[in-house]
């Protein structure tokens, strides 16, 4: 898989270095860095990474909304394992952009973390610039939003993990109908994604996962757990559902196989667009009238009516069909 990063060349090399620093089973494997020519005669760097057959977690949730519980809890555990690995590095490697679109899925729906464009080694991090925050305000902790001098800590990623857990459980995007200005205002004041519609007793162990979720997004960063604590809970929950994981994967694969692919939808959309273009280019229908003393004619449906009046011979008016 080739990715053309959004960052300058130096940042691409920095991301590549950080991905090598964070190499493990649950972190996307970097295969190399390549150069590609651009029209201006210069070169642009790109990352060559392991291909992930099932795309991102975000895309999967958009297609299926609710995943089977065994798969939901396995994904939560694998993300926690990946983040725990990063935080156990020396120095600590902070991701700083943990969200469903940065969790990729292989052919068996195993999770791997990606996009280290914002990641920082804790020994060198100073602050998170507003320019680097991108569109992920929904996953940012309150202290990062309200303090321009904030220095990121592991608690930043833990907060993001709590919001990601909510998305996994509900299949929804956090604050999907709110403007970013409102989100920035309310998160530091304690507002979090809505949990009123979640029945924690609906399935076994869901209550345990929700308690973890809420502790991760605690207003006080000192009260949030470490990922080493998180994996103890996610592992316990997943182990309870592990016997059903193969069936869950087969069900998801079966459902996806019956759904139109993005390529087929794009092709259909293109065909429809072509039909519209051809329809617009066709000459409008023309109706000819030969009439005398015609009045009160109404033109409808974008038809063009040419009316010819004759004075030498009277004719009855023909009605448009």
Does 141 have pLDDT greater than 70?
Answer: yes
CATH homologous superfamily for the domain 53-259: Transferase(Phosphotransferase) domain 1 (1.10.510.10)
Residue appearing with tokens 């970013």: 180
Structure confidence by residue, pLDDT tens digits, 236-295: 999 999 999 999 999 999 999 998 776 665 665 666 566 555 545 554 545 444 444 444
Rounded mean pLDDT of 95-123? 86
* Percent over 70 (pLDDT), the chain: 64
What's 102-151 look like in SS3?
Answer: HEEECCCCCEEECCCCCCEECCCCCCCCHHHHCCCHHHCCHHHHHCCCCC
Give residue 153's pLDDT band: very low, low, confident or very high (50, 70, 90): very high
For 288, list phi and psi in degrees, rounded to 5.
Answer: -100, 135
**pLDDT score of 89:** 85
Q: Is 147 a catalytic residue?
A: no
Structure tokens at 295: 């009045």
pLDDT digits (tens, 9 = 90+) for 272-281: 566 555 545 5
How far apart CA 144 and CA 137 sit, in angstroms, is 10
Average pLDDT rounded to a whole number, residues 165-190: 94
Q: What is the pLDDT of residue 23?
A: 67
What pLDDT score was predicted for residue 316? 53
- Predicted model pTM: 0.74
Q: Which of 97, 115, 157, 218 is catalytic?
A: 97
Burial 215-253 (b: 16+ CB within 10 A, else e): bbbbeebeebbebebbbebbbebbebbeeebeebbebbe
The pLDDT tens digits of the residues spanning 8-34 come to: 455 556 656 666 655 688 998 777 777
Q: Under a CB-based contact definition with an 8 Å cutoff, are residues 117 and 97 in contact?
A: yes
- Reported as a pLDDT band with limits 50, 70 and 90, residue 106 is very high
Residue ranges covered by each domain of the chain: 53-259, 264-309
> Considering the chain, what is the average pLDDT of its residues?
80
pLDDT at 123 over 80: no
Over 70: is that where the pLDDT of 79 sits? yes
DSSP three-state, residue 205 = coil
- The single-letter DSSP state of residue 4 is -
Q: Would you mind telling me the total number of residues written for the chain in this entry? A: 321
pLDDT at 295: 45
pLDDT band for 218, please (50, 70, 90 cuts).
Answer: very high
């Amino acid at each position: 898989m080739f990715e053309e990063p959004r960052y300058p060349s130096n940042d691409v090399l920095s991301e590549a270095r950080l991905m090598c620093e964070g190499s493990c089973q649950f972190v996307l494997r970097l295969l190399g860095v390549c150069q590609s020519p651009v029209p201006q005669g210069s070169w642009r760097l790109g990352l060559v990474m392991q291909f992930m057959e099932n795309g991102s977690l975000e895309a999967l949730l958009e297609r299926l909304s609710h995943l089977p519980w065994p798969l939901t809890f396995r994904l939560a555990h694998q993300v926690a394992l990946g983040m725990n690995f990063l935080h156990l590095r020396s120095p600590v490697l902070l991701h700083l952009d943990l969200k469903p679109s940065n969790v990729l899925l292989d052919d068996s729906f195993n999770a791997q973390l990606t996009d280290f464009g914002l990641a920082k080694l804790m020994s060198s991090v100073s602050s998170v610039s507003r320019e680097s925050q991108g569109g992920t305000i929904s996953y940012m902790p309150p202290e990062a939003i309200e303090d321009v001098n904030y220095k990121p800590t592991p608690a930043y990623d833990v907060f993001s993990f709590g919001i990601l857990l909510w998305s996994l459980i509900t299949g929804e995007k956090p604050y999907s109908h709110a403007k970013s200005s409102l989100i920035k205002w309310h998160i530091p004041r304690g507002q979090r994604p809505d949990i009123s519609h979640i029945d924690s007793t609906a399935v076994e162990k869901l209550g345990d996962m929700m308690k973890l979720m809420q502790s991760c997004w605690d207003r006080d960063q000192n009260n949030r757990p470490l990922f080493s604590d998180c994996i103890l809970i996610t592992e316990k929950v997943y182990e309870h559902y592990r016997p059903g994981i193969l069936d869950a994967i087969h069900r998801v694969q079966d459902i996806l196989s019956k759904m139109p692919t993005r390529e087929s939808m794009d092709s259909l959309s293109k065909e429809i667009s072509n039909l519209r273009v051809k329809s617009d280019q066709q000459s409008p229908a023309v109706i000819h009238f030969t009439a005398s003393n015609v009045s009160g004619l109404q033109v409808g449906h974008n038809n063009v009516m040419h009316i010819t009046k004759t004075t030498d011979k009277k004719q009855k008016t023909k009605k448009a069909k």
